[in-house]
A and B are shown apart, each in its own frame.
Chain A
Amino acid sequence: MNITLKRLVCLGCGFSYDEALGLPEHGIPPGTRWTDLPEDWVCPDCGTPKSQFEMVVIGYAEGGSPLAQNA
């Protein structure tokens, strides 16, 4: 079983979703898989659909991940 947690970036505006962090302020707890987000979920910043997010393997800048969790 692949348990690697994924990061995805919105191709409309660059907003990132990190499975490990979730988006608690948007009601998504840490650990929520991308595939478990509803199909009609859209980028909270720009409204881009899920299908136009890209999985990325990019690390955080220093101090970046708490900011990403509370974006």
Chain B
Amino acid sequence: MTQSFVLRANDRGHTVVRSEGSSAAYVAGHTPSNFVSRESSFNFHEYQSGRPGFGAIRVFGDETFHGAGCGYNMHAHHNFVICAFVLEGELTHINTAGRGTVDQLQQGDYYVFSAGSGGKHCELSIGPEDMHAIYLWLMPNKLYLPPTYHRAHFDIRTRRNRIVQLVGDGDGALPVPQDLRVSRLITDRPGAYTYTPRSAEYGTYLFVKEGQVRCGDVALGPRDSLGINGVDKIECDVADTTDVFFVETVMFDEARINAWEQEHGDHD
């Protein structure tokens, strides 16, 4: 059975977290010009009126760290797999996986941090430019795995006009402890593309970061997204300058998400 939903940019959660006052321990910066703005596709922190997730995805948000020194102070995680895809600016990422890592990521760089049995991280923008990234959080396939960190670069200039896999099982993709793939398509001319999940059992969350995409009778603009499962392929026509993320995920027996869908009655 095909199930799908469309999430428009304006229907996503919008949160601003300041670096002063009660959130000062959480958000770095300590000045009025330092704040994090967050657009969430699924429920996250203060935003709890939207969809609870999709497959193994629990968080899909684009975040901007405003002003030099802004970000998240060192804090602990377990179990979640956290991925960041840097869109603009520079992200300084520090984590305690293994012997620990200090990394600096720029446009096109991305990481997969699996917190497993316990891993802390700190996310900072230390330069003068604002830092903009997509953060993706996943449920792992096992609890309390050894914490790991992997990173790679997606060259947005040389890898245009084809769907490139960034995360999951596949040559050159970063490993992730979940039955899931992340791919990205950047185009500089109009075209027709087909995304093929491994089978119709998988769900695909398609997020338009930039540009215009038409999937069947659904037209998607910047920050619009589509979740679909029960299909063998997703055919899309894209406009000339488009940036699209595809997250193909195993679908759990999701009592929580199904209950939410029944209550809201917005699926096909």
User: What residues of chain A have their CB less than 8 Å away from a CB belonging to chain B?
Assistant: 7, 9-16, 45-46, 52, 54-61, 63-65, 67-68, 71
Nearest Cβ distance between residue A43 and chain B, in whole angstroms? 10
Q: Which of B31-39, B112-120, B122-130 contacts A (4 or more CB under 8 A)?
A: B112-120
**What's the Cα separation between A59 and B145 when bound, in Å?**
10
Q: Are B144 and A46 in contact (CB under 8 A)?
A: no
Name B's interface SS: loop
Within 8 A of A (CB), among B35-52: 43-45, 48, 52
Bound-state CA distance A23–B176 (Å) is 28
Asked if residues B142 and A14 are in contact (CB atoms below 8 Å), the reply is no
Contact with A along B109-152 (1 / 0, CB 8 A): 00000011110000000000000000000011111111000000
Give chain A residues whose Cβ lies under 8 Å from the Cβ of B77. 13-14
Residue of B nearest to A15 (CB): B78
What total count of A-B pairs have CB within 8 Å? 69
* Contact call B45/A61, Cβ cutoff below 8 A: no
Known: A14-B79, A71-B78. 4 other contacts (CB 8 A): A13-B78, A45-B78, A52-B48, A68-B144
CA A17 to CA B142, docked complex, whole Å: 14
For B52, list chain A residues within 8 Å (CB): 54
Does B192 count as interface, using CB distance less than 8 angstroms?
Answer: no
A60 to B145, CA, bound (A): 8
Known: A12-B45, A46-B75, A67-B117. A58 touches B80 (CB 8 A): no
Q: Contact between B80 and A13 (Cβ–Cβ < 8 Å)?
A: yes
- Tell me the bound Cα distance from A34 to B73 in angstroms: 30
Shortest Cβ gap from A60 to chain B (Å):
5
Q: In the docked arrangement, what's the CA distance between A9 and B78, Å?
A: 9
Contact of B253 with A by CB under 8 A: yes
Q: How far is the CB of B233 from chain A (nearest CB, A)?
A: 29
Q: Please tell me if the beta carbons of B78 and A16 are within 8 angstroms of each other in the complex.
A: yes
Chain B 241-260 per-residue mask, 1 if CB under 8 angstroms from chain A, else 0: 00000000000110110000
Q: Is the CB of B45 within 8 A of A14?
A: no
Contact among B44, B80, B116 with A61 in the assembled complex (CB-CB below 8 Å): B116
CA distance A52 to B45 in the complex (A): 9
Highest count of chain A CB atoms <10 Å: which of B43, B58, B141, B144: B144
Q: A58 near B75 (CB under 8 angstroms)?
A: no
Is B76 in the interface zone, CB < 8 Å from A? yes
Chain A: minimal CB distance from B175 (Å): 14
